[in-house]
Chain A
């Protein structure tokens, strides 16, 4: 079930990334991180870590530097582990907190990415700060919004509406 959820999430992430890229959005949210964060909910470390691998590989295929498959996979696995570890020790329920956590995860991932590139290539390729902050903000916003939306009892509301229509 979780695998299907990951597959759907990743497919949507790919579509969203492509769509926003076509729209030339300067700082699009990290949809793949949202998928990983979804896996990490409730402290599922193994699921988050395993989910980070395909998410990162897809991101590498879509937006990674040429000929470097595995770069985002590394960071996504790492971020997935961290998020799951945090989720297993604390309860983060408020959308604002979730958004902040995701924004922080974007920053951590960027730092890990920069460090990894420095290790591998020998030069520091840090992203533009404002773009990074924008990406962190949008990711946090979208993640917080999705989290808030996920907390809404849509099924119960729909059942209630259906019952009201019948009566």
Chain B
């Protein structure tokens, strides 16, 4: 079937062949603007997809290499910058701590412009409040002049007292400890009472007769009669008030100095008995 068809198409095939031959011969001779022959131009045009593909591959390979190199460089830079950021963050935290300490110190100095001799500034490192006892750890100890029964104060007020002193650290009992007690004075009638820790972070005042005028937000200060704490130090503000019985108030205090937010405290020397008995030194320690 194919042979007759081809034979019938012979003139056309011959025509196409001869014309193509002429075109090829012509294209090899004609010079286009730019110096190339038409054949070269057509050849280049026909080869250009292949050339473009090869060029694209080479460009892609170069890009990939460049990308990998850039990635390595960026990763190294990223690691370096991450380290730098961490270092700067640490530095920032240290600076913030220093700023806070400075502020606290200024507040302390403002509250206690003339601290008594033997006053030791210290950091409240930890607070133990998980059990019934509420204690803290100071970064100063006996070698720094911190002694047992030393009074720990913060800018807000009384924090607690030193119950044990090692060479470089000391343990303090917070006012909110269940076994802590401090003699206090109520502001309106100068009536004395006893403030005890409730073991939950608060302080309760006992033995205040109901005839004594008490209001919420009254500032309760230490009375200095307990032989441990000097008088006049802020203990807390009345946060809740109720009649426990017909005789006494049930008074809840919010501590004047929150140990959880205090990092810098002062440790005053222990109170001497002579001070408790009405010496002027106790009152001067505010």
Contacts and interface: CB of A to CB of B under 8 A. Distances in A.
A120 interface: yes
B15 A77 contact: yes
Nearest to B25: A70
Interface in B1-44: 10-11, 14-15, 18-19, 21-23, 25-27, 29-30, 32-33, 38
Contacts of A120: 26-27, 30, 38
Given A46-B14, A69-B25, A81-B11, 14 more contacts: A45-B11, A45-B15, A50-B18, A67-B29, A68-B26, A70-B29, A71-B22, A73-B18, A73-B25, A77-B18, A78-B19, A84-B11, A116-B26, A120-B27
A73 B26 CA distance: 10
A116 B25 CA distance: 13
Given A49-B11, A50-B14, A81-B15, A74 B29 contact: no
A-B pairs, top 8 by smallest CB distance, nearest first, are A45-B11, A74-B22, A70-B25, A120-B30, A70-B22, A70-B26, A77-B18, A81-B15
Interface in A67-126: 67-71, 73-74, 77-78, 81, 84, 116, 119-122
Bin chain B's interface residue count. Answer: 10 to 19
Nearest to A52: B18
Contacts of B27: 120
Bin chain A's interface residue count. Answer: 20 to 34
B19 A122 contact: no
A122 B21 CA distance: 20
A70 B38 CA distance: 14
Residue among B11, B14, B21, B22 with the highest chain A CB neighbour number at 10 A: B22
Interface string A30-57: 0000000000000001100110110010
Interface string A14-29: 0000000000000000
A63 to B, nearest CB: 16
A71 B14 contact: no
B29 A46 contact: no
A46 B10 contact: yes
B2 to A, nearest CB: 20
Given A120-B38, A122-B32, A122-B33, A49 B15 contact: yes
Contact of A74 (B10, B14, B23, B38): B23
A145 B32 CA distance: 42
A77 B32 contact: no
Interface string A58-71: 00000000011111
Contacts of B29: 67-70
B132 to A, nearest CB: 103
B185 to A, nearest CB: 112
Contacts of A121: 30, 32, 38
A84 B11 CA distance: 10
Contacts of B38: 119-121
Contacts of B32: 121-122
Interface string A116-158: 1001111000000000000000000000000000000000000
